Amino acid sequence: MSVGPHDLVIRGGTVVTAADRFTADIGVTGGVITALAADLPKGAEEIDAGGLMVLPGGIDAHVHLDQPTSDGTKMADDFESGTRSAVAGGNTTVLPFVMQEKGSSLRACVEEYHRKAEGKCYTDVSFHMVVSDPSPQVLGQELPALVRDGYTSFKVFMTYDDLVLNDAELLAVFDVARREKALVMVHAEGNDAIKYMTTRLEQEGKTAPYFHAEAHAQIAEREATHRAISHAQLTDVPVVIVHVSGRDPMEQIQWARKRGMKVFAETCPQYITLTKEDLKGLNMDFEGAKYVCSPPPRDTDSQAAIWEGLRDGTFDIFASDHCPFFFDAPAETGKNNARARTSFKWVPNGIPGVETRLSILFSEGVSQGRISAERFVALTASNPARLYGLYPKKGTIAIGSDADFTLWDADRKVTISQSLLHHGADYTPYEGLQVTGWPVRTILRGQTVMQEGEISCRKPGGAYLKRGVSGMAYP
């Protein structure tokens, strides 16, 4: 049989987009989708997707890789291990953060981060920035120039002493975002409230990891979410509230939306699978540190609220907030360090999750009948692409889009275990969780990069993606 015009034909799968599902063959030429039809002629390479879903490659819009930390703790993933873990989990694009260290030029930090990523990425990547030092030079020159160069989103923190911006600084940064049509991502937890709670708990001798969840109270997240929304309303700028953990902050977002404000929202796997009880470990021991992240997981009422928000459109995106630290090994470099054992406040905040994000949402959402497969695609690929200026090159299956796919076995039952995963961390907070639905093949611009858990490309082939203005925030 003669070979047709396509480099690759993916045959007979159920194609699922955010809007539709249908059976079709997909033709790929030069890394781009060039045909969607029944009975395409034979391709140079053929993949039989019969019995599988063909989804747009996952886009994880919130990951932390090889990021400098204030106390020098090393992250468990660099670009190589983090993106390897990402493709194993069915992702083809990730968006990590350039951390501006106080006193540093933002541009210099961006360039340094490119050096760290160069030649090491199995997925395509694009960078958000973190603005921690909004000096006149940064606000007046560097930030506008970087936005125009395609770094069209940046995060600000309302907590952590080394990152927190005060209200005047938040307003000034939001104002730059409005002028430049950039998208501000907000870590909404009130710093003073957390510090007050931390001091009180420590005075009462409550220093185990569990008390991180009490110090980072939902009240502090609710208050900061409302404050961020108010600043956004005053400055007339769209914002994204990231890693929303529970009912109270979610209601603030709904309050703003009802008033017509452009407030977008992200939630994460830890808020539908974990609760603060997990931070108790085994009888309040240090195992609880494995679940320390900010905001912390809440309770079953908040889990139910998050599901309502995932269903009704309150949440636009579902990201991992992959922020991996070692637990035990190498010794004294991660969560289980000597200082952390004296108080929860020294436990590095963050948990790994880039590899398990898709299977957790699919299993708990689609397999359990809470959301449709189309909504799953919207939350994990299409909306992240639209929100962060990558659509329609990324995030959908359409003629002209990049040929990024996850071949998905909706019936595969897997028990999540550290031994299956490809990240650099020495544990997973989801150990033992049973999921139904698993990525069996990941294809990046027409090249298979993962098959049945094995990385199948010889060297990392990910590219850096320059982004446009957010199609959702500034249509």
What part of residues 207-266 is at the interface with ligand URP (CB under 6 A)? 243
Using an 8 Å Cβ cutoff, are 387 and 184 in contact?
Answer: no
Ramachandran assignment for 395, one of left (phi > 0), alpha (psi -120 to 50 degrees), beta (any other): left
Among 64, 345, 357, 386, binds ligand URP (CB under 6 A): 64
Tokens 């959301």 label which residue?
371
Q: Which does 273 bind (CB under 5 to 8 A by kind): Zn ion, ligand URP, none?
A: none
Smallest distance from the beta carbon of 64 to Zn ion, in angstroms?
Answer: 5
Q: Confirm if 432 and 414 have CB atoms less than 8 A apart.
A: no
Q: Are 326 and 334 in contact (CB under 8 A)?
A: yes
Number of helical (H) and strand (E) elements in the chain, helices listed first = 14, 18
Residue 335 lies near ligand URP (rule: CB under 6 A): no
Task: Please classify residue 1 by burial: count the beta carbons closer than 10 Å to its beta carbon, then call 0-12 exposed, 13-18 middle and 19+ buried.
Answer: exposed
Q: Which of 49, 43, 38, 4 is nearest to 443 (CA)?
A: 49
Q: 297-327: string of b/e by CB count within 10 Å (b at 16+)?
A: bbeeebbebbbebbeeebbbbbbbbbbbbbb
Is-contact 359 438, C-beta < 8 A? yes
| Binds ligand URP by CB under 6 A, chosen from 183, 323, 354, 358 | 323
Helix residue ranges, H only, 247-377: 247-258, 270-273, 300-312, 357-361, 373-377
Which residues have C-beta within 8 Å of that of residue 335, sequence separation ≥ 6? 289, 290, 292, 325, 326, 327, 347, 348
CB of 326 to ligand URP, least distance (A): 15
- Say which entry of Zn ion, ligand URP, none residue 293 contacts (CB below 5 to 8 A, set by partner kind): ligand URP
Kindly determine how many residues on this chain lie close enough to bind ligand URP according to the rule CB under 6 A. Answer: 9
User: What are the E-state strand segments in 328-445?
Assistant: 405-415, 434-444
Residue 100 sits in the site that holds ligand URP (CB under 6 A): no
Rounded to a whole number of angstroms, the minimum distance from the CB of residue 64 to ligand URP is: 6
Nearer to Zn ion, 155 or 226 (CB): 155
When asked if residue 187 is in the footprint of Zn ion (CB under 5 A), the reply is yes
Using CB under 6 A, pick the residue from 73, 93, 198, 294 that binds ligand URP.
294
- The answer to whether the beta carbons of residues 194 and 212 sit under 8 Å apart is no
> Minimum distance between the CB of residue 134 and ligand URP, rounded to whole angstroms?
18
The residue (of 11 and 62) whose beta carbon lies closer to Zn ion is 62
CB of 260 to Zn ion, least distance (A): 26
Interface stretch with Zn ion, choices 135-143, 321-329, 330-338, 455-463 (CB under 5 A): 321-329
Q: Which residues on neighbouring strands pair with residue 240, listed in sequence order?
A: 185, 264
| Residue number, 7 or 189, with CB nearest to ligand URP | 189
Which of 6, 11, 120, 187 lies at the binding interface for ligand URP (CB under 6 A)?
Answer: 187
Residue 164 in contact with ligand URP, rule: CB under 6 A: no
Contacts (Cβ under 8 Å, ≥6 apart) of 282: none
Q: Determine how many CB atoms are found less than 10 A away from the CB of residue 116.
A: 16
Q: At what angle do helices 247-258 and 218-235 cross, to 10 degrees?
A: 20
Residue 349 binds which entry of ligand URP, Zn ion, none, with Cβ cut-offs from 5 to 8 Å by kind?
A: ligand URP
Of 337 and 349, nearer to ligand URP (C-beta) is 349
Indicate whether 321 belongs to the interface with Zn ion (CB under 5 A). Answer: yes
Least distance to ligand URP from the beta carbon of 243, Å?
6
Choose among ligand URP, Zn ion, none what residue 406 binds, the Cβ cut-off being 5 to 8 Å by kind: none
Burial class (CB in 10 A: 0-12, 13-18, 19+), 181: middle
> Would you say 53 or 158 has its CB closer to ligand URP?
158
In this structure, the strands spanning 128-130 and 124-125 are unpaired
Contact mark string toward Zn ion, 141..180, x via CB under 5 A: ----------------------------------------
84/187 with CB nearer Zn ion = 187
Residue among 321, 364, 402, 404 that touches ligand URP (CB under 6 A): 321
Q: Is 293 in the site for ligand URP (CB under 6 A)?
A: yes
Please give the residue ranges that form the binding site for ligand URP (CB under 6 A). 64, 187, 243, 293-294, 321, 323, 349-350
Please give the residue ranges that form the binding site for Zn ion (CB under 5 A). 187, 321
